[in-house]
Amino acid sequence: MSATPRRGKVRHAPSPMGQARYRVMLGLVLIGLALLAGRIVDLHVFDRTFLQGQGDARTLRVDPIPAHRGMITDRHGEPLAISTPVVTLWANPQDLPDDRIQRLRLAQALGQDPEALNARIERYADREFMYLRRRMTPVDAQEVLDLRVPGVHKRAEYKRYYPAGEVIAQLIGVTNIDDHGQEGLELAYQSYLSGEPGRRRVLKDRRGRLVRDLEVLKEAEPGGDLTLAIDQRLQYMAYRELKSAVDENDADGGVLVMLDAETGEVLAMANQPSYNPNNRAGLDPGGLRNRAIVDVFEPGSVMKPLAMSALLETGRFPPDTVIDTSPGWMVIDGYTIKDVANYGELTLSGILEKSSNIGMSKLALQLDDPVVPERYRALGFDQVPGTGFPGEAGGSVPAPQVWSSSQWAALSYGYGLSVSALQLASAFTAIANHGERLPPSLLRLNRPPVGEPVIEPDVADRVLGMMDRVVEPGTGARRALVPGYSVAGKTGTVRKSGGGGYEKNAYRSLFVGITPVSDPRLITVVMIDQPRGDAFYGGAVAAPVFSRVAGNALRILDVPPDQLDEDP
C-alpha cells in the first residue's frame, strides 16, 4: 500500500511593498513612543513646574474677601446705616444630586418650594453656577450646609441695615442686593463707603469645597464711615410731628427741614410719604424721593421777607413808609391781585404781618431795577445747593429780560419762581446771621463755614425784627409761638398750578421760622402739600408743626429760653 504525500500550507514571501509599509508604520509608532517618553521625562525631570501649575490650577483658587461697607452715623455717632455679615449659598448644578429626597431636604432647608427649586436647577443644568439663596443669616445658612449636599457652597457677604427705618429713609438711601448704593447718600458716597475687596488663596477639592485657607494675597480695605449733620433725636421728633400733621390734614405729603442757624448744617430732614428701607416689598416709588431736596414748588408769601430785604436796600423806603392797600385788590396787565381782606394803610412791617400781596406789589412796581430777582439769585435760588445729593434741584428764577408789570409784582410775593425746601431754609440763614448766607451741609462740619455777605447787616437785622412781629399773639402766625422763646417767621399759602393754570382748592401750606430771635439757633421750613382738612392756610396747618418741632428741639439742645414771661 503506497503512502499519499501530505499537503501543507504554502507560505509566500512578503512583497517588497508590504515590507516597506510595515517598516514605516513601525517606525512611526516607535517615534511617537519616543516623543511621548521624552515629554514624560521632560515634565517630570526638567519642567516639573508645568505639571505642578496644572495641578494647582485644579485645586488652588483665589477667592474674594468682601470689604465691610462704611457706617453712616448721625452727628453724635448713632448708627443710621450699618452692614451685617450674611451668607449667600450657591451651587454647581452639575454636581447637585438627582436624588429626590436630598433635593426635598435642600428645598425645605432653603425655605423654597421643591418644584420651583427643581425647575430652576434644570434651567441651569448646563452651567456651573447658580444662586440658591442670597443674604441668609449665618445660622440659617449653616443649617443648609450641615445637610452636606454635594455641589452646595457658601460665600460671605454683607447686608445693609437701617436702624432708623422710615424716619430718615430718603436722605440715607438704600443699597441693592450686591451692596452697591442706589439712592440718596448711599449712592452719592458709593466709592467712599464701599471699600476695596481683598483676595485670598485657598485649596479646594474637585467639587469646589474648601479644604484649607492658604494665604491672604490682599487684605480687604473697609469703606470709610460717613458722619452726617443730622441729630437723630431731632430727626425722630420732626418725622413724628410731620407724619401726624399730614395724617391730620389728609394731605398728599409734606417736608420739614431744620438747619443750624450758626453753621448751615441740616439737623433734621423729614419727608412724607416715606418707606421702610429694611423691607421694600410693595414699595411705592413715590416714597423714595427726598422731596426736601429734589422737588421744587412756588414758595408764595414766605419769600416776602427776602424780597423786602432787597427793597429796603434801595434806600427808597424809609422806616416810616406807609402803603395804601385799599381796596384789597388791584388789576395789573389784566390779572387781579388780591389780599385776604382790605387792610387799608400798612407800614412795611404791617405788609409782612398781614402778608399783603398788594403792599409788596406796590413797593416793587416803584422800582426800575430787578433788585428782587437779583436778591433771590444771591440767596442761592436758581442754582443747586451743592450738597452732593443725587438729583438736587436748583429751582428757577426768571431771567431779567422783558417782564410785564404783573410778573414784576408776582416775584415780590413769591410767585413766578420755583425753589426747594432746602434752598428756602438756606436762604434764611442770611436773615439770621446779619446778612451772611451759609451753604447747607448734610455732613457734620468740624468748623463753621465762612458766610457769604448777601444782605446789608442792618437790613437783615431789620427784616428779622419785622418777622418777629409777624409771630405774635393775635396774628395769623400765632400758632407758631414757642413758650419761652421768641420766634421770627412767615406763613405762606400757595395755590398749586396744573396743566390748565392754578387749580381750585389745591394748596401748599408753608411756614418758615427762626428761633430764638435774640440769638438764632434754628431755622425750620415746614411744607404740607395739599391739605384737605378744614384749614389750608400756612398759619393754621404748617405753623403748629413748627411750634412743636422747634420747641422740642430747643429743649433737647439745651438752648436757654429768652422769653420766660411769655404766655402764648
Residue 301 among the catalytic residues: yes
Which of 274, 301, 355, 426 does the annotation list as catalytic? Answer: 301
Name the nearest CA neighbour of 251 among 552, 550, 526, 549. 526
DSSP 4: P
Residue at grid coordinates 427793597: 311
Cβ neighbours of residue 302 under 8 Å, at least 6 residues apart? Answer: 414, 424, 490, 491, 492, 510, 511, 512, 525, 538
Q: Which residues sit opposite 127 in a β-bridge?
A: none
Distances (CA, A) of 524 to 59, 120, 179, 464: 63, 54, 34, 14
Residue at grid coordinates 407800614: 347
- Cα–Cα distance for residue pair 487/464, rounded to 1 Å: 10
- Cα–Cα distance for residue pair 397/427, rounded to 1 Å: 14
* 3-class DSSP state of 290: coil
Pairing outcome for strands 72-73 and 226-227? parallel
Query: H helices within 492-542, ranges in order?
Result: 538-541
- Cα–Cα distance for residue pair 415/397, rounded to 1 Å: 10
Pairing outcome for strands 253-260 and 488-498? unpaired
3-class SS string, 42-74: HHHHHCHHHHHHHHHHCCEEEEEECCCCCCEEC
Supply the residues annotated as catalytic.
Answer: 301
